[in-house]
Chain A
Amino acid sequence: MINLARRDIAHHLKSYLLTGLGLGLLIGVTLTMAGVYRGMVDDAKVLLRAVDADIWVVQQNTLGPFAEPSSVPDDLYRALLGLDGVVQAGNVSFLTMQVSREGKSQRVMVAGFEQGKPGGPAFLIAGRPISRAHYEAVADTKTGFRVGDVVRIRRNDYTVVGLTRRMVSSNGDPMLFIPLKDAQEAQFLKDNDAIVEDRQRLATNPAINRPGQPGVLGAVQAIQTSSHKVNAVLLRVQPGTDARALADSIARWQRYTAYTRDDMEEILVAKLIATAAKQIGLFLIILAVVSAAIVAFIIYTMTLGKIKEIAVLKLIGARDRSIAAMIMQEALGLGVIGFFVGKFAATLWAPAFPKYVLLETGDALRAFVLTLVVCALASVLAIRAALKIDPAEAIGG
């Protein structure tokens, strides 16, 4: 039996392929939107994955260092290391700020960590890890920094010694890792003018600057400029230890709030980016529905455009089944072409986005099935319309 679809497509090859390309770009946009959504969720989790901590200890009754401000003493880790099952403990501090390089300012999340303890970059793509206790940095490649660049954070210059990749905050700001002590200073140290003004304010306070007690003023000033706080303490536990039970025991006896990795993920995904993710998610749904509708309309109108040919076919005695098969095959063919073009386009332009776009294979498969289902449904409508065509139209009209 002769394949009507192949003949028809060969006849209108150019317009068929162009229609497929158009559909493909539309599907590509939908896939990209799904990628943007997935990328957003992934951004929120990437830090947790990289840091690879089992328990996050934060200030009591706060939602950790990202969703709410938290500060804990930097010697708390000593008490935590003594707990049964804890293998490693690391102080970390996080601060989103502008850093400047060659006069240009760049928004980054500065992460302070202790070398060899949890909280640092998991892998490098260039350079070397931080080896000095001060003034060295490892940057995410998205910052645009290169090894050897000098960046300024507050009053100190830092040399970028290494580069890493996919290390972003939940907002998608690239991260800059620096030694913890520097990060503490960057976070809690005031600018010079404020320090000088504070000194003068204290000096004029008669309760502190008493005649006859010259040492008091100096002591108070020294207290004000030193900081021994960090944002969180990260713990890694021995394999086989129940992190949940350990976290509960820390919350109960150490009087700090402790989150397991799952809790933290819940905070980051469900609380921190909830609204933004919902926004994108809703838009994605609308885009998918609209795309499906457009695909259906195109296939439907394409069929209606062939009324004359179908009438001729009918006139020369083509069976309904052959005509239905032709329409169905053409529709599915368009769907397949569209899907592949869309996937191709999305994969091609995804890396160009400023924020991470994650194209999941599962999403692609879902999109493929959905495309075929929509094409099939649309072709059913078109078939119904085609079968109603009166063969007489071939001669009339």
Chain B
Amino acid sequence: MMKMIRRNLYLILGAVAFLAAFVWLLTTRGPLAPVGVELASVSRADLSPSVYGIGTLEAQHAYAVGPIQAGRILRVLVDQGDTVKAGQLLAEVDPVDLRQRAEAARNGVGRARQAAQAAQAQVTEADSRAKLAQANSDRYAALVKQKFIAREMADSRQHEATAAGAALAAARANAAGAQREISRAEAELKGIGQLQSSLRLLSPVDGVVTAREAEPGATVVAGQAVVRLVDPDRLWVRARVDQARAQGIQVGQKADIVLRSAPGKALPGKVARIDLQSDAVTEERIVNVAFEAAPGQLYLGELAEVDIHLLDTRNVLTVPRAAIAQRNNQPGVWQMVDGHARFKTVQLGVHTAERVQVVSGLAEGDSLIVYSAKQLDEEVRVREQKLTQP
């Protein structure tokens, strides 16, 4: 009989233990379990918001040096990486027949000078003729007054004097024309000289050669670059910042620049210019961030990340950003009230990567749900629990 009772006791104990385990399993792991959540509280903190963008290392000014008309490259004197001074000869375009044309123009000038001398001599001759004819005419006019000769003879002399005067005027005009011809020929010579000097491609600035795009013998068109230059002291990162996050960026704000080649090293920089023209297709604002102190060797076109530091906000109510949820297109947080989830609409201010400012809706010390094991819904049963192992 004792054996029977003990056996029954074991049986009952076993059944109870099994049922307890079953209920425990169902309520902690099964569908009836409350949603596990992790809580945090509203606390005051200083926020240092920043805006992130990526861009490429570019020169503020890039110079493409090329000829103003089509031609063949005669020689290129510099190569990539060379440092050049303003006015230094970089390359030369083949002048083809320009030297001969200059020679012809020079000869033209000489000829014009000689023509001018001839014209001047003619003026002298005409002047002398005119003077003689005038003297003769005056003499004959006096004789006519005294009636020594016929009037017809005096008229004839008068005509000769007038004709000589006209010849003098013509010779003078010729001489002036010859002078102008000298100017014209000289101008032409000068033009050819200018053309010749334009075939010599000179550096407009002190800079560094970044590309040598044509080799001797190649034919280039007007405007095509033969050599590209940048000013190495004026490099910056042309960063693209999402328009949605670009509010608050101002010229002069500090920024960290991280080059792709040195991912662990942040170089100090500052916002140098914000382009007025944004990229409408990618919806990004162009922010140019200059280096505070130019680091040694930089490579153009390198990818760089910039972190622009906006105005700090001091001592404001903040919550973790992971706590922010959306419900009916309203931002808010979930709170645990008597073991149930309740949504609370809040107004948000500035945010950093980790925390966000709460403008209204919550008070300091309020508890709220940061993480949840499932998507929360109004009145869902929740239970505080560690969701991930550290």
Chain A residues with CB under 8 Å of chain B are 10, 13, 49-50, 75, 87-88, 114-116, 122-129, 131-135, 141, 146, 161-163, 165-166, 181, 211-212, 214, 228, 236, 239, 340, 343-344, 347-348, 350-351, 359-361
**Interface secondary structure of B, over-half rule:** mixed
Q: A134-B52, A340-B18 are in contact. Are A347 and B26 (CB under 8 A)?
A: yes
Q: Does B140 contact A (CB under 8 A)?
A: no
18 contacts between A and B (CB under 8 A): A49-B375, A75-B281, A114-B244, A123-B374, A123-B376, A124-B322, A124-B371, A125-B38, A125-B387, A127-B322, A131-B351, A131-B352, A133-B241, A165-B374, A166-B374, A228-B281, A236-B329, A340-B22
Can you add 18 more A-B contacts, CB < 8 Å, to A123-B376, A146-B388? A10-B8, A49-B375, A87-B329, A115-B244, A123-B371, A124-B370, A126-B371, A132-B52, A132-B353, A133-B242, A133-B245, A166-B374, A214-B224, A228-B282, A239-B328, A347-B29, A350-B29, A361-B32
Report B1-53 residues with CB < 8 Å from chain A CB: 4, 7-8, 11, 18-19, 21-22, 25-26, 29-32, 38, 52-53
What are the residues of chain B within 8 A of A125 when measuring CB–CB? 38, 371-373, 387-388
Q: Which residues of B contact A50 (CB under 8 A)?
A: 375
Interface residues on B, range: 35 or more
B221 at the A interface (CB under 8 A): yes
Partner among A75, A348, A361 whose Cβ is within 8 Å of the Cβ of B25: A348
**B155 contacts the other chain (Cβ, under 8 Å)?**
no
Do the beta carbons of A344 and B52 come within 8 Å of each other? no
The answer to whether A128 and B221 touch across the interface, beta carbons within 8 angstroms, is: no
- Please indicate the chain A residues that have their CB under 8 angstroms from the CB of B18 in the complex: 340, 344
B22 near A128 with CB under 8 A, answer no
Assess the B241–A123 pair: CB atoms within 8 A: no
Which one of A126, A239, A348 has the greatest number of beta carbons of chain B within 10 Å? A126
Instruction: Give the contacting residue for B221; candidates A127, A161, A214, A344; CB below 8 A.
Output: A214
Distance in Å from the Cβ of A87 to the closest Cβ of chain B?
A: 6
Q: Does chain A have a CB within 8 A of B106? A: no
User: Measured between alpha carbons, how far is A189 from B241 in the docked complex, in Å?
Assistant: 21
Cβ–Cβ < 8 Å partners of A49 in chain B: 375
User: Which of B354, B373, B374, B388 is A128 in contact with, Cβ under 8 Å?
Assistant: B354
Known: A214-B221, A359-B30. A163 touches B388 (CB 8 A): yes
Bound Cα distance from A216 to B29, whole angstroms: 64
What are the 8 tightest A-B residue pairs by CB atom distance, in nearest-first order? A131-B353, A132-B52, A133-B242, A125-B387, A126-B388, A124-B322, A125-B371, A122-B375
- B316 CB-CB contact with A under 8 Å: no
A305 → chain B, closest Cβ, in Å? Answer: 22
B387 to chain A, nearest CB (A): 4
Residues of the A chain whose Cβ atoms lie less than 8 Å from the Cβ of B19: 340
Query: Quick one: closest B residue to A362, CB to CB?
Result: B31
Instruction: Please give the distance in Å from A24's CB to the nearest CB on chain B.
Output: 11
Would you call A344 and B388 a contact (CB within 8 A)? no
Kindly count the residue-residue contacts between A and B in the assembled complex, taking CB atoms under 8 Å apart: 98
A236 CA / B224 CA spacing, docked (Å)? 52
CB distance from B179 to the nearest CB of A (A): 44
**A239 and B330 alpha carbons, distance in the complex (Å):** 13
A367 smallest CB distance to B (angstroms)? 14
B93 partner residues in chain A, CB cutoff 8 A: none
CB distance A129 to B322 under 8 Å? Answer: yes
Given contacts A75-B281, A123-B375, A129-B321, contact A343 B22 (CB under 8 A): yes
Assembly CA distance A164 to B353 (angstroms): 17
Q: Is the CB of A128 within 8 A of B371?
A: no
Nearest to B388 among chain A residues (CB) is A126
Taken together as a complex, chains A and B put the C-alpha atoms of A375 and B167 apart, in Å, by 146
CA distance A239 to B327 in the complex (A): 12
CB of B320 within 8 Å of the partner chain:
yes
| Contact residue among B52, B224, B322, B352 (Cβ-Cβ distance under 8 Å from A162) | B322
For residue A228, which residues in chain B have a CB less than 8 angstroms away from its CB? 281-282
> How would residues 236 to 251 of chain B score, 1 for a CB under 8 Å from any chain A CB and 0 otherwise?
0000011011000000
Chain B residues 238-286 with CB under 8 Å of chain A are 241-242, 244-245, 281-282
Q: Are A128 and B281 in contact, with the CB atoms below 8 A? A: no
B375 to chain A: closest CB distance in Å?
A: 5
With both beta carbons as reference points, the residue of chain A lying nearest to B375 in the complex is identified as: A122
Q: Which residues of A contact B329 (CB under 8 A)?
A: 87-88, 236
Q: Closest approach, in angstroms, between the C-beta of A41 and any C-beta of chain B? A: 15
Most A CB contacts (10 A, CB to CB) among B7, B30, B52, B305 go to: B30
Does any Cβ of A come within 8 Å of B91's Cβ? no
When distances are taken between beta carbons in the complex, the residues of chain B under 8 Å from A115 are 244
Tell me, yes or no, whether B227 is within 8 Å of chain A by CB.
Answer: no
| Chain B residues within 8 Å of A88, by CB | 329
A347 and B30 in contact (CB under 8 A), knowing A125-B388, A214-B224? Answer: yes
Chain B: minimal CB distance from A46 (Å): 10
Residue B325 at the chain A interface, CB threshold 8 Å = yes
Report if B54 contacts A (CB, 8 A): yes
CA distance A190 to B238 in the complex (A): 24
Residues of B within 8 A of A166 (CB): 374
> Closest B-chain residue to A141, C-beta based?
B388
